[in-house]
Structure 1
Amino acid sequence: MSRLSLFAFVLTCAAACRPSPQPASPAAAATESATSDAAAGGRTPAAGGRVAQRESVETTVFHLHKFLQRIGVERDTYTRDGAGDLEAKASFGFQDRGSQVTLAASFRLGPDGLPRDYQAWGRTSRLSTLDERVTREADDSFTHSRVGEAPVHVTPPASYVIASGYAPILAQDLMLRAWIARGRPATMTLLPAATVTIEARGEQEYEVDGKRVTLEHVSVRGLVWGREDAWLDEAGRLVAVVTRDAEFDHFEAAREGFVALLPELVSRAGADGVAWLSEVGKSALRGPAGVVALVGADLVDGTGRAPVRDAVVVYDGDKIVAAGPRASTPIPPGAATIEVAGSTILPGLWDMHAHVQQVEQGAAYLAAGVTTVRDLGNILEFVTGIRDTIDAGQGLGPRILVSGIVDGDGPRALGTVRIKTREDIAPVLDRLKRAGSLEVKLYSSIAPSLVRAIAEGAHRRGMRVVGHVPEGMNVLEAIAAGYDGVSHVPFLFDPLFAPGEVAKLSREARGRRIADADLKTAPLAQVIRAFASKKVMLDDTLALFELMSHTAEESARREPGLARLPRELRGLFDGTSPAQAALDGAIFARYLAMVGELHRAGVPIVAGTDISVPGHSLHRELELYVQAGLSPMAAIQAATSVPARQMGLQAQVGTIEPGKRADLVIVAGDPIADIRDVRKVTRVVARGRMYDPAELWRIAEFTP
């Protein structure tokens, strides 16, 4: 599901010490409890300054989850020495789709509760590592060191915290205790030079083991991209965190005894996030209400017809009422007129491979001109709640079409919706249908023997079947079993390998087989014929695989959006190594060529990104289509009318015609002459509301 996680198959397919009753820092709590610890047999400093033996204070366990599926634990231990220093250590580990992710961290806090030293080393996801240290010097400055970066020296203000992102949970626990102990400041410095913003979002009562407990909800910004949600008990201890991991996937942690609350907390996080974004998003609204006429731009209406020069597009609320040449398209009396000469008006763009896992993505999508997304894997209750809020006009973001993700059993399985046997098929499909899922997305651990029955059941319920090709099948078998769409172009190269052969080949041998493949001969010619004859849709996610196929420097040249990323996202797109770049680039060239051949064979190609560089990668996808041989017009249609038709919504959206929804993008320049102009978004109209992209990018924490 994650963009970064997919490189694993590219070549193979192809918490806390207990405080005093009032909230206090762990160090303060430890100091205040010294007398009771000594009475219990602990050793304190002896006469003459002898340092006492280290004393254990507490051990806390957090249960770690991904997509609400329990995957591991974090064990936090606190010890104190006679000098008053507290050492807090975290042992963090989980299993994710067959990979072990482990991280260790250690904090040393002085008697004042402030961190003096911090170390963290290990992995934060299957594909990301961390080796970081922050040390307090004699002059009260700090040195921050991270492998691969030059050391940074800084003297922070009084309110500072130390953390490395979402993990370990210990860092978040200490941070929130410090926030309370320091009087709940709006912001604190995150060493070496960032800012954490913490906001109280109210208290709610919950039932835990038959008892009512009150938890305080807070939002945190600055550790990961966008908002995290955390809950504290009445003593100020961290109870749960709802966040995203280093692969952008849903990640949740709950202190032992509170795990059963996670589904409800995830739902609350989504609802609160949408409400927050809707409120701050008001600053991005531009343009008048009522009847609006856009005048003077070229019109690319998405139908494939030639552009209309000097056009007029009129919308009233959320409906288009007129579109055509200025000379023959009357402007209604009283309409507000906006001159947009020198621009091009396009239908609202679609991202057909999205994962809306945080509300900030809504702002980023709209800023890029994306007014509809197809969510291909999520926590069902989370994404449907956001979908319904936006559909009710109470949120900010694109229209969300839900494809419910389903996986099977085994160590690599993902999510909580599972089909393990034939008996599971009907209840799971009925659940997805009730939730409004338009499709069933099959993931990699579904048993191949169940695919045909799942497809037949989904089709009877009016749902399509799309997604990954399950392990043990190839793409030809998936199409024969009833797939309506395939995600990710590497799966199309599966038939190059005999069953079981991939595991016996070296990485280079596997890659060379793909790079040297002839698309005109079997078995790849057979793949193209199967897609074409069954009209199977492909969302290829080329922009994602391009990021994996080149060095970081080359990727930055190809994708200017990388330079605009929020601080928390930098470093996630390291690409391939220089030694591997030639082969990986050759593999990517085959992917590009395959998409071109499929388009020429009449296969419906739809633009999707699997998030990648949020917002920006949709533009890159269209640029890559032109490189693959599609005309700029066809590339634009792959993100407008073709997905609307594939999803059965062509009567409502996808083209600029009277009666359709007022989803529009205004770009400077002419993307038919130069597809790169699709990046030059100056205004976005979603459901008849006009937005300023620069302000939306600011809300999403990107550089406009």
Structure 2
Amino acid sequence: MFCAATATAQRTALPDSGRFLLYLWYKPVGEETYTVTRQGGQRLIDVRFQYEDRGTRVPMESRLELSDRFALRSFTLTGKPGRFSVINDSFSTKGEGLSLTRGGRTTVQKSTRKVFPHYTSAPASLYLFLVKYWEASGRPASIYSIPDGTPVRIAHAGVDSFSRNGKTLVLHRYRMERERFLVRYLWLDADGALAGIAAGFLSTINAKYSDLLHEFRTRTARYTLLEFPVPQPENSLVIRNARLVDIETGTVTGNAVIHIQRGVIAWAGPASEAPVIRKGKTLDAAGGTVLPGLWDMHQHYNSAVLGPALIGMGITSVRDCANQDDFLALVKRSIDQGESIGPQIYRAGLIDGSGPNMLGTVAANSPAEGREAVRRYHRAGYDQIKVYNSVKPAVLGAICAEARALRLPVVGHVPRGMSVGAVLDSGMTGLSHINNVMAGFDIDSSSYTIDYAKPVNAALLARLKATGAVIDPTCVFLELARRPLAADIRALYPDVDTWPRFMATDIRTYGSPADTIAKYRFGRRQPLYGATLLRMLRAGIPVVAGTDLQPFPGYPLYRELELYVQGGFTPLEALETATSIPARVMGSKAGTLRAGATADIIIVEGDPLTRIGDLRRVRWVIRGGQLYDAPRLRRALGFGR
């Protein structure tokens, strides 16, 4: 009995203060602290959280009033959970009443459930306090999250050992799930203090255990990967009754047959001409539209659970545009070896220059450092090099020369102080974010239009084509970051209420204040982006669809293609940017439905050639010959509720 009481006391013990280091992509960027003040049997906890992301301060402050058993009395959270989001929440409980204020709107409801604040990227201290409440409450099956009311399930998942300076450190591992897509692992030490949580790009590590950052990150990935076993591959799969689209010509074949053998398309065409196929699983497409699997050419693969989500959305290939190298290598290897679910991952290794706006951990401040960084990525098997904003002109030239010798394309941002023409002259062959490209055009400031026949504009278009530059616009990222915060998000994402609740809550925090939108005329930029991209595409300049919005898998890619169509693309042209063009750019055998192609295929209930939005109705996904029931996979992750 004494031992049991001691163990319980340890689990509910809370140090009176805590200090955590914040790491963004393994780079130290700030800190989080909390302090506890006891008042008449209650705890008043003040949390301060601040880091800097590429020159932008991201501060938050929170105050919790908890009972001695950690039950919530009141809570406030104000500040910025990210560069492009804003939060201002407060809650209070009294008896069976719960008052919630979000963005100035207050609702009062009756609730007898156990409730506690729970956010995706808010201060990690909240996770610690929630574990304490769960332990003090007798480990209930679930505790309901505030603000969106979804159940949070917590489990003591085991004890892990870590080697430190010749000694063994034992930490308690907890698993926390708030909807299937949002799983977190966190570690507590013997004193009941939070040791670390490293679920995404932003990691929170107790200052005493900063040396375990990489261990926490990779162990989180391993545990998460085990939760999504891969189905047995189909050695022979026959799709019948399909509406087959040749993405390169737009030709549609009704009542088609596709035969897949060992992950490769063996035959595709009219049923009347199909060879006799004696063995294999048969899938009835029920008149659905069959397309190549989709590509997202601007992803940042931040979680192992992202793989099943992307497959469920019909995204079978991604280009990762900079990441935490050891984490991504672990995830990619697991997918490639058939151990876990996910898309084909192509990697672009990030290089930046030192300074307050640096992104990542690989800095090149001299030509020699630039060349060596390229060689390291080449040895690690990367597909491309990505440069960021702080790379100096001479360093960029060295990076491009070394990469060209190793046959690695160089893509990315237009570094500060350089022009579009200058980066093309340096040897870059891929440009990210349409706003970076637009800086090279002479735009009429009064009408906010472009005269493409003007010599400077015509010369830029010709230069882009001559260099083979590939444009990765991420229009959807810009649209979300610049939308009015007060606007209804359903105007952009009409199905947002079917997403996991935490995700629907998070996306509503993205946007800009009305005065910022008016000052920079954001409302007039999006139509110009679409018109310019159409001009590029039809001039023979490759455009590849990407999102840069990994917190919201799938739906932003659909929206990206909708924006292209709104800009004048035909639905077929929009589909090409997410299928055949990226496959060609990356040297992949996917991207078409012709014999010999990799069998990355989606079957859509609807006709995206008429209504591009029908891509939201992906019914079946085939990834390298493995068949997935897409709605079932999405539902398992909390989509389609």
User: Aligned match of 1:268 in 191, 216, 219?
Assistant: 219
Q: What code does the residue aligned with 2:57 have?
A: Q
Structure 1 unaligned spans of 5+: 1-19, 31-56, 245-249, 498-509
Structure-2 change in CA distance of 1:211 and 1:457 (3 Å): same
Alignment partner, residue 621 of structure 2: 684
User: CA contact under 8 A between 1:293 and 1:331: conserved in structure 2?
Assistant: no
Alignment partner, residue 410 of structure 1: 355
User: Aligned match of 1:76 in 22, 34, 51?
Assistant: 34
Alignment partner, residue 299 of structure 2: 354
Alignment partner, residue 568 of structure 1: 502
Q: What code does the residue aligned with 1:58 have?
A: D
Structure-2 change in CA distance of 1:488 and 1:29 (3 Å): closer
Structure 1 range deviating more: 639-648 or 173-182 = 173-182
Q: Give the TM-score, by structure 2 length.
A: 0.91
The answer on 1:540 being equivalent to 2:473 is yes
Residue 603 of structure 1 aligns to a residue whose secondary structure is coil
Structure 2 unaligned spans of 5+: none
Residue 334 of structure 1 aligns to a residue whose secondary structure is coil
Distance 1:187 1:512 in 2: 56
Q: Percent identical across equivalent pairs?
A: 30
Structure 1 range deviating more: 145-154 or 601-610 = 145-154
Residue 702 of structure 1 aligns to a residue whose secondary structure is coil
Offset at residue 116 of structure 1 (A): 2.1
Alignment partner, residue 540 of structure 2: 602
The answer on 1:675 being equivalent to 2:612 is yes
Structure-2 change in CA distance of 1:668 and 1:190 (3 Å): closer
Offset at residue 155 of structure 1 (A): 2.7
User: CA contact under 8 A between 1:165 and 1:223: conserved in structure 2?
Assistant: no
Structure-2 change in CA distance of 1:58 and 1:150 (3 Å): closer
User: Aligned match of 2:187 in 225, 231, 247?
Assistant: 231
Q: What code does the residue aligned with 1:194 have?
A: T
5 Å-filtered alignment, 1:516-595, equals: 516-551=449-484, 553=487, 556-569=490-503, 570-573=505-508, 574-575=510-511, 580=517, 583-595=521-533
User: Aligned match of 1:255 in 202, 206, 221?
Assistant: 206
Distance 2:445 2:470 in 1: 27
The answer on 1:199 being equivalent to 2:155 is yes
The answer on 1:178 being equivalent to 2:136 is no
Alignment partner, residue 635 of structure 2: 698
Distance 1:316 1:190 in 2: 47
Alignment partner, residue 376 of structure 2: 431
Structure-2 change in CA distance of 1:495 and 1:318 (3 Å): closer
Structure-2 change in CA distance of 1:341 and 1:128 (3 Å): closer
Structure-2 change in CA distance of 1:255 and 1:184 (3 Å): same
The answer on 1:85 being equivalent to 2:30 is no
Distance 1:521 1:201 in 2: 65
Alignment partner, residue 18 of structure 2: 60
Q: What code does the residue aligned with 1:662 have?
A: A
Distance 1:631 1:141 in 2: 53
Q: What code does the residue aligned with 2:93 have?
A: R
5 Å-filtered alignment, 1:25-424, equals: 29=13, 58-81=16-39, 83-137=40-94, 139-157=95-113, 159-191=114-146, 193-222=149-178, 226-244=182-200, 250-276=201-227, 278-279=228-229, 289-304=234-249, 306-424=251-369
Offset at residue 232 of structure 1 (A): 1.4
Distance 2:224 2:207 in 1: 25
Q: What code does the residue aligned with 2:131 have?
A: L
The answer on 1:22 being equivalent to 2:19 is no
Residue 411 of structure 2 aligns to a residue whose secondary structure is strand
Q: What code does the residue aligned with 2:28 have?
A: R
Structure-2 change in CA distance of 1:662 and 1:516 (3 Å): closer
Of Structure 1 and Structure 2, the greater strand share is in 2
Offset at residue 483 of structure 1 (A): 0.5
Offset at residue 149 of structure 1 (A): 2.7
Report how many aligned residue pairs link the two structures: 630
Structure-2 change in CA distance of 1:170 and 1:674 (3 Å): closer
Structure-2 change in CA distance of 1:622 and 1:204 (3 Å): same
- State the structure with more CA Rg: 1
Offset at residue 22 of structure 1 (A): 3.1
User: CA contact under 8 A between 1:555 and 1:575: conserved in structure 2?
Assistant: no
Query: Deviation per CA, 1:277-303, whole angstroms, max 9, x where unpaired?
Result: x23x76xx9xx9342211122211333
Structure 1 range deviating more: 323-332 or 671-680 = 671-680
Structure-2 change in CA distance of 1:331 and 1:558 (3 Å): farther
Structure-2 change in CA distance of 1:173 and 1:411 (3 Å): same
Residue 451 of structure 1 aligns to a residue whose secondary structure is helix
User: CA contact under 8 A between 2:46 and 2:62: conserved in structure 1?
Assistant: yes
Q: What code does the residue aligned with 1:220 have?
A: M
Structure-2 change in CA distance of 1:609 and 1:164 (3 Å): closer
Residue 619 of structure 1 aligns to a residue whose secondary structure is helix
Alignment partner, residue 13 of structure 1: none
Distance 2:140 2:627 in 1: 35
Distance 2:444 2:22 in 1: 35
Structure 1 range deviating more: 575-584 or 342-351 = 575-584
Alignment partner, residue 584 of structure 2: 645
User: CA contact under 8 A between 2:171 and 2:187: conserved in structure 1?
Assistant: yes
Query: Deviation per CA, 1:422-467, whole angstroms, max 9, x where unpaired?
Result: 2322332222123221011111111222111001111222211001
User: CA contact under 8 A between 1:134 and 1:145: conserved in structure 2?
Assistant: yes
